[in-house]
Structure 1
Amino acid sequence: MKPFRLLRLAVAVSLGSAPLGLLVLGGTANAAATTYFVSPSGSDNNAGTSAAQPFKTIQKASDSTNPGDVVQLMNGTYRETGTGRDVLNITRSGTADAPITYQAFPGHKPVLNPVTGWHGIRITGASHIKVSGLEVAGDSTSINLDEARKQAGQKKPVFNTNCIGAYKDEKSGKASHHLEITGNHVHHCPGGGISAIDADHVTIDGNRVHSTSWYTEYATSGISILRALDNGPGDPSQYKIRITGNVVYDNETKVIWTQVGKHSDGNGIIIDTLKDKDNSDPAYKGRVLVANNLSLDNGGSGIHSYKSQHVDIINNTAYLNARSVNMDPYANIFASMSDDVRILNNISVVREGKPTNSTHRNTNVTYDHNIYFGGKKPEATGPNDLVTDPKLTKPGIDPTAADFRPVEGSPAIDSGKAFDLPARDITGKARKAGTAPDRGAFEFSVGGDSAEPVTTPTKDNAVAAPAAAPTSPTTSDSPATETTTEAAAADSGGLASTGASVVAMVIGGVVVLAAGGATVWLARRKRANS
């Protein structure tokens, strides 16, 4: 099986892979739903309701939407209409049964290209929004690093443009929630890749996110959840935020974060400050799932939880992250200053001399059933962790050629913690139900098995997660108590009884390859310890 077969697999299943239970196909929940069409050759004076008479700007279409409407972008390049503006600022909300959807016109490959604005796509206090299958390409290739460093502190958008970001509306106080950001190709924005700040019920699934954060004066990353706010009840037994099936690489901060006067972040994926916030907002009580992601060659960590709680980091593959030479190195997959975090079934290949994981000021953090290879000795190991070569097919930092599937004889095969989740791997291949799955984001494949049909997601966006096994509070001065025991691992219950919505969620990861329209299948912040 060729490594690029995953691309074909992605195309085959992407239409059925909506991962949230948010998705209602345009028009099915709202008979009056309208599809708006946009083309760079159109006019905002057009009706916008036919491909023959499209709007010119996505913003015009967005400002016309109502629940259940769909905005389809036709071929061409879309830019901001003025310096400092967003290419698209979404402020109008859908409903639970009728989300507003932004997608490509069938067969088209539109590109949002922010150059002088703050965002390619910004979601401001809006809810029930789906952004799917779009390309957001920033202008980093036209920016000079020395110039960016000289401009740091001046807050110029051209050096700080983010690709996709969701935020609270500061005027009304409304937070964004019930967001589905799936199957997009996000790259070369000088600021962050995909971020959600003060948001809830967010799924970031099946995206390819790379080459971001290079020139910003802020501490951004490839994918970032920051200061999540509970929309409705918060329950640690319910997943409300999901980061699944993404391929994230080449994200690095190369300019000093002006707020603290040094370099920071540039991570692949970070779950950031869900507790101990620096404002009056309460700690986030929902649960976060980070599963089936591939994170490689980023400046900061591959994946980590910082000052957060109720986080599961499961079945990911992180490869040679912490490449930045401008800051103290981050560990590859880890938690810091966090509570109730489970880091299980991951493959972590660490750069030479770089840290593997962390016990820093953690409580109730479990590391187990992971494979560590390279780098420094892990600060914490569970009874089923392995320090050995995972034996992957063709690992590497070139995303056009690497293949991270385990080969026959790999210690990752059939050795993970038995869970009902993730039910499928990053390619859509079914994991072994009721038995030990493979570790990492990829299941071992014999004969190039194809993915099974996608299960239709349920409407419930808050799916059940198991209660974590009780453990004693620990400190970094007592790393031995940071590790699990076999009994504790068994009692943790696994990721069970989550229903079809999560099955579909994990499968949605395969759209990462369809989104970019390329022939490759690979396509915030850990502050200083205090």
Structure 2
Amino acid sequence: MKLGVRLAGVLLVSGAALACPLVARAATTTLYVDRTVAGCSDAGPGTSTTPYCTVTKGVAKLAAGFTLYIGDGTYSETIKPVVSGTADAPITITAWPGRHPVLTPTSFGANISSRAYLTLSGLTFTGTKYDGVYVTGSHDITVSGNTVTGAGQPVSGQTAYGISIRSSSSSVVSGNDVNHNNGSGILLTSGSTGILVSGNAASFNAEGYRRNANGINVISAGNTVLRNVTHDNEDSGIQFYTGGNDNLAALNVTYNNGDHGIDDLNVTGGRLIGNTVYRNCTTGINVEGTSGNYVVSNNVAVDNAVYPAYNGIACTRRAGNIGIWDSAPASTTVDHNLVWLTTSGKMYAFGTTYTSLAAMQAATHQESHGVQADPRFVSAGSWNLHIGAGSAAIDRGDSGVSGAQSTDIQGLARVDDPATANTFAEGPRRYDDLGAYEYQP
């Protein structure tokens, strides 16, 4: 009988080598970084028991299909992937479950350039010199569940954005908390299309030396801004400026911002559907300049442009809960909106201003299903803008308007309130509520 042994993956039988290679070891698909682990080593295997010490080392080892978990500690390093994932094998860079990494580099927090099929999630970026998360020339990127704060400096030429998406496509920015950045919280620049900005919180973003920072700033076409909460930003909560055509803003809550709740200037083809806009410095929902072909429907706009100042910023520019200005009235459709003032002020603008919805309706024949009534917010003083029982916003929406959603900002299904007649509702569901929140009887 011939004896055989294995050497270097080859079976040797009585001195003769036979073609019998060993099965290759499966590639490692999970890597770990944690500088707080005593045995961490950048020369090690990057396992959960012997993780890398630096984010740079972990990122350098990534390949399609890999996940990199980042553990506890503060890292003064930029996440800059050098490879892309694929549709079948994406790359994920995320927080190690149960651990809380903080990245404080002096450059970008994350720099994702010319990459694809990559997810960045669960991380905290703070005090970066440039944008907290910077994505450019990429596609199929997901930025989710991160906290980004303190980017840039409140000095001309040194401001920075929380999250910026530049010349990229087919990507998602969701569930992030972007606050106290020295620039807009989230930015979509020209050339970015097919971006879903959903479920984010954007607050207290300010350049500091001028009124310019928004919660979400969109200057590119064909994107969706959905279910976000923006408040206490230096400029508008959500802004669409020149180049930001054919975007949808739906089910957003935006309040106490230094300019508008939602601002649209020199853009076309926009849809503002089912938003709740409360107590912003100037016009709550604002469509102005050469904007055209706009649809403004199913919104709740209350107590906007009635306060003299916001953090020292004068609020005396354009007034009204909903304002359609300049050349915009000729091609803008407004209907199924609720407006209300608890103090004196301008209720509506449609070319000129009106102190009541009835006056606006009579002059323009717009807003035939609109209502001027107290929305009965649960607790406006504590910014709880859910609508309460008996609200005129209940069962009054148009579920057939383009951009209407079958669930509300919290993902709750539409409900037909048995105590409310559906007299003014339209569309396939004759019980959608106005604004971002669906009343749950």
Contact preservation (8 Å) 2:230, 2:253: yes
Cα distance in 1, alignment partners of residues 224 and 300 from structure 2: 19
Q: Does 1:355 align with 2:355?
A: no
Matches within 5 A, 1:178-189: 178-189=170-181
Q: Amino acid of the residue matched to residue 352 of structure 1? A: V
Shifted more, 36-45 versus 289-298: the winner is 36-45
Task: Give the direction of change, closer, same or farther, for the CA distance of 1:339–1:46 in structure 2 (3 Å limit).
Answer: farther
Aligned with 1:74 (options 59, 66, 71): 71
- Give the count of matched residue pairs: 345
247 and 98 in structure 1: CA distance in 2 versus 1, 3 angstrom threshold: farther
Tell whether 2:122 aligns with 1:114.
no
Query: Is residue 297 from structure 1 mapped to residue 256 from structure 2 by the alignment?
Result: yes
1:57-206 matches, cutoff 5 A: 57-58=54-55, 60-62=57-59, 64-79=61-76, 81=77, 87-89=78-80, 92-111=83-102, 112-138=124-150, 148=154, 151-152=155-156, 155-156=157-158, 160-167=159-166, 175-198=167-190, 199-206=192-199
Q: Percent identity?
A: 29
- Residue aligning to 1:226: 219
Can you list the C-alpha shifts for 1:419-453, whole angstroms capped at 9, x where unaligned?
A: 3831111112101462230000001122xxxxxxx
SS of 1:443 mapped into structure 2: coil
- In the alignment, the residues of structure 2 paired with residue 335 and residue 317 of structure 1 have an alpha-carbon distance, to the nearest angstrom, of 16
Query: Structure 2 stretches of 5 or more lacking a match?
Result: 1-25, 103-123, 308-318, 351-365, 416-427
In 1: Cα distance, 2:223 partner to 2:27 partner: 30
1:115 Cα shift? 2.2
Distance 1:213 1:46 in 2: 43
1:3-42 equivalent positions in 2, closer than 5 A: 34-41=29-36
Q: Which residue of 2 aligns with 1:207?
A: 200
- 2:151/2:162 contact within 8 Å kept: no
2:51, 2:262 → 1: CA distance? 41
- How far did residue 209 of structure 1 move? 1.4
Q: Distance in 1 between matches of 2:262 and 2:41?
A: 42
* Aligned mates of 2:400, 2:186 — CA distance in 1: 28
**Does the 8 Å contact 2:151/2:161 carry over to 1?**
no
Q: Give the one of 421, 431, 442 matched to 2:414.
A: 431
Query: What secondary structure sits across from 1:360 in the alignment?
Result: coil
TM-aligned CA deviation for residue 203 of structure 1: 1.0
In the alignment, the residues of structure 1 paired with residue 263 and residue 57 of structure 2 have an alpha-carbon distance, to the nearest angstrom, of: 38
Greater shift in the superposed pair: 432-441 or 338-347: 432-441
> Is contact 1:110–1:135 with CA below 8 Å preserved after alignment?
no
1:243 alignment partner in structure 2? 225
| Structure 1 portions without partners, runs of 5+ | 1-30, 82-86, 168-174, 229-239, 253-265, 276-283, 323-329, 447-530
Q: Aligned partners of 2:271, 2:165: CA distance in 1, in Å? A: 22
TM-score, normalising length: structure 2 = 0.70
Distance 2:232 2:75 in 1: 24
CA distance in structure 1 between the aligned counterparts of 2:193 and 2:257, rounded to whole angstroms: 26
Q: Distance between the aligned counterparts of 1:419 and 1:57, measured in 2? A: 52
SS at match of 1:295: strand
What is the rounded CA distance, in whole Å, between the counterparts of 1:176 and 1:90 in structure 2?
Answer: 16
* Partner residue in 2 for 1:413: 394
CA contact (8 A) 1:39 1:73 kept: yes
Q: Distance in 1 between matches of 2:294 and 2:81?
A: 33
Q: Which has the larger radius of gyration?
A: 2
Q: Distance in 2 between the 1:288 and 1:392 partners?
A: 28
Residue in 1 that maps onto 2:241: 272
What amino acid is the match of 1:247? V
| Partners of 2:27 and 2:273 in 1: CA distance | 41
Matching residue of 2:6: none
- The answer to whether the 8 A contact 2:130-2:151 is kept is no
Instruction: Tell me which residue corresponds to 1:278.
Output: none
1:345 to 295, 298, 313: 298
In the aligned structure 2, how far is the partner of 1:33 from the partner of 1:290? 42
1:447-504, CA deviations, whole angstroms, 9 ceiling, x for partnerless residues?
A: xxxxxxxxxxxxxxxxxxxxxxxxxxxxxxxxxxxxxxxxxxxxxxxxxxxxxxxxxx
In 2, Cα distance between the equivalents of 1:387 and 1:48?
Answer: 65
Q: Where does residue 513 of structure 1 map in the other structure?
A: none
Displacement, 1:216? 6.3
1:162 to 1:392, Cα distance in 2 relative to 1, 3 A: same
Distance verdict in 2 for CA 1:320–1:125, change over 3 Å: same
Q: Which amino acid aligns with 1:73?
A: I
Q: Distance in 2 between matches of 1:342 and 1:47?
A: 58
d(CA) in 1 for partners of 2:211, 2:349: 29
C-alpha change, 1:379 and 1:60, in structure 2 (3 Å) is: farther
Q: Would the aligned equivalents of 2:396 and 2:430 in 1 still touch at CA under 8 Å?
A: no
* Aligned counterpart in structure 2 of residue 388 of structure 1, from 373, 379, 404: 373
Distance 1:301 1:44 in 2: 51
8 Å contact from structure 1 (residues 305, 338) kept in 2: yes
Change (3 A) 1:133 1:443: same
Query: Higher strand share goes to which structure?
Result: 2
Q: Which amino acid aligns with 2:300?
A: I
Equivalent in the alignment of 1:379: 349
Aligned residues of 1:423 and 1:430 also touching (Cα < 8 A): yes
Q: What's the offset of the Cα at 1:222?
A: 0.9
After superposition, what is the alpha-carbon deviation per residue over 1:117-162, rounded to whole angstroms, capped at 9, x for unaligned?
A: 111111121211112212112168xx7xxxx4xx43xx23xxx132
Q: 1:321-355 deviations in whole A, cap 9, x for unaligned?
A: 12xxxxxxx41112222122211111111141643
The residue number in structure 1 matching 2:279 is 320
